[in-house]
Structure 1
Amino acid sequence: MEGERHLPIEFSNHMHDSLTHLQEKIGELKHTMNEKDCCILNDFEEVNKLFKSIHHSTATFYLQLYLEPYTKDLEILTACAQSLSEKRHGALIAIKRNNELETLVHSGIPLHAKLSPSLLEAIFYPGNPLHDGGVLIEGDSIISAGNIFPSSVHYKGKEKLGTRHRAAIGLSEISDALVIVVSEETGRISFALGGVLYPIQPGGITS
């Protein structure tokens, strides 16, 4: 994956410290299991929260790394994805990087509107005629909505994927676009890049 070979020292050190702390917490949990005859669910919860925090900071770093040169509205995109996730509103958002995308997607409605959280959330509101399609973003503009993205033909993962996730992977297989996808079943957020799906939140793949 692009950018992984030359991680900034500050980020690398932060991740090392965070993972060391997690390892220590897991060690404490193992000690608790061996030494105490009590419920350890709260200890598991503490480890789980720490893991999720590390996962979130890592996902945020990579999203910024891959999108910062192409859009100034990363915070809008991440905040909107989180809001859609909490509401269990499915979403499919492609951010143009270097490759042209308009010839790779089909049947979209041109918008050419300023990117905003309210507009994105309105597009993906259940019942909106455009909510099942994908949004195409370039810079700080929503170019079109209701697009049909090509479905993946190369995915060989063990987990079953739904239409949105296959479309996210499919477009990233034939372009350098980064595609954010929100599951309407669980609210899980992922992004596809280079034909690979990466979780932004820990959890299982859903349709």
Structure 2
Amino acid sequence: VLGSLEDAKNQLNSIESTAASYYLECYLSSFTDVYKDLSTTVQHLSKLKHGALIVVERGDSIETIIQKGTTIGAMVTPKLLESIFYPGNPLHYGAVLIRGNVVVSAANVLPLTKNVYEGKKLGTRLRAALGISEQSDALALVVSEETGQISL
């Protein structure tokens, strides 16, 4: 019986992952042509529990509200993003900024939300994602390194 429950749990997790990928790809496709690469990357990082913060710039430039990190200037690829967020990599901490189909920079420092969420303990990545979302129209993708949960 326990084996059957484990199989059912795995199937439900697979269904949830598929639905989340579809939603994520639909939402991102209006802002970048590399939405499938972004979806693939965050799913892989989630499975590995490698924390990540990816900001996709939309209409408003966010250059004036972030502390710019290291300039990258390369096309978005899953391997590039996964290497940036590999634990121990100096660029691992901070956010990756994507404009169109290009990784503009990595290790960017974002403004943190000033809002308090009663009963919720928010990590720094999630607080930074909320902060950039409150101050701009940018999209923020977060992968929790503690739980592997993906947030948009």
| Category of TM-score, reference length = shorter chain | 0.7 to 0.9
| Matched residue, 1:196 | none
Tell me what 2:64 maps to.
Answer: 103
Tell me the amino acid that sits aligned with residue 152 of structure 1.
Answer: T
TM-score, scaled to structure 2: 0.87
How many aligned positions are there? 152
- Tell me the distance in 2 between the aligned counterparts of 1:45 and 1:176: 40
Equivalent position amino acid for 2:93 in 1: D
Note if 1:42 corresponds to 2:4: yes
1:67 aligns with 2:28: yes
Deviation at 1:157, TM superposition (A): 4.5
CA offsets, 1:97-149, max 9 Å, x none?
11111112103111111111111111111121111110000111001100001
Per-residue deviation, residues 7-43 of structure 1 (Å, max 9, x unmatched): xxxxxxxxxxxxxxxxxxxxxxxxxxxxxxxx68835
Alpha-carbon deviations, 1:148-177, whole Å to 9, x = none?
011111242422011111111111111111
Q: Matched residues in 2 for 1:184 and 1:134: separation? A: 14
Larger radius of gyration: 1
Contact 2:52 2:143 survives alignment (8 Å): yes
- The whole-number CA distance in structure 2 between the counterparts of 1:183 and 1:42 is 29
Task: Give the drift of 1:71.
Answer: 0.6
What's the TM-score once normalised by structure 1's chain length? Answer: 0.66
Stretches of structure 1 lacking an aligned partner (at least 5 in a row): 1-38, 192-207
The answer for the alignment partner of 1:164 in structure 2 is 125
Unaligned runs of 5+ in 2: none
Opposite residue 164 of structure 1, the aligned amino acid is R
Structure 1 counterpart of 2:96: 135
Judged with a 3 Å threshold, the aligned counterparts in structure 2 of structure 1 residues 128 and 40 are, in CA distance, closer, same or farther, namely: closer
Q: Which residue of 1 aligns with 2:45?
A: 84
State the alpha-carbon separation in 2 of the partners of residues 88 and 44 from structure 1.
20
Paired position in structure 1 for 2:55 = 94
Code of the aligned partner of 2:34: D
* 1:152 matched residue in structure 2: 113
Shift of 1:53: 4.8
**1:84 to 1:53, Cα distance in 2 relative to 1, 3 A:** closer
Matched residue of 2:32: which SS?
coil
Deviations 1:27-85 (A, max 9, x none): xxxxxxxxxxxx68835863x45654554344234323321111111111111112212
- Specify which structure has the bigger relative contact order, considering alpha-carbon pairs within 8 angstroms and separated by 6 or more residues: 2
Question: 2:65, 2:26 → 1: CA distance?
Answer: 24
Inter-CA distance 53–86: structure 2 relative to 1 (3 Å threshold): closer
Query: Are residue 123 (structure 1) and residue 107 (structure 2) matched?
Result: no
Q: Indicate the SS of the match to 1:64.
A: helix
Q: Which residue of 1 aligns with 2:137?
A: 176
Which runs of 4 or more aligned residues in structure 1 lie more than 3 Å from their structure 2 counterparts after TM superposition?
Answer: 39-45, 48-58
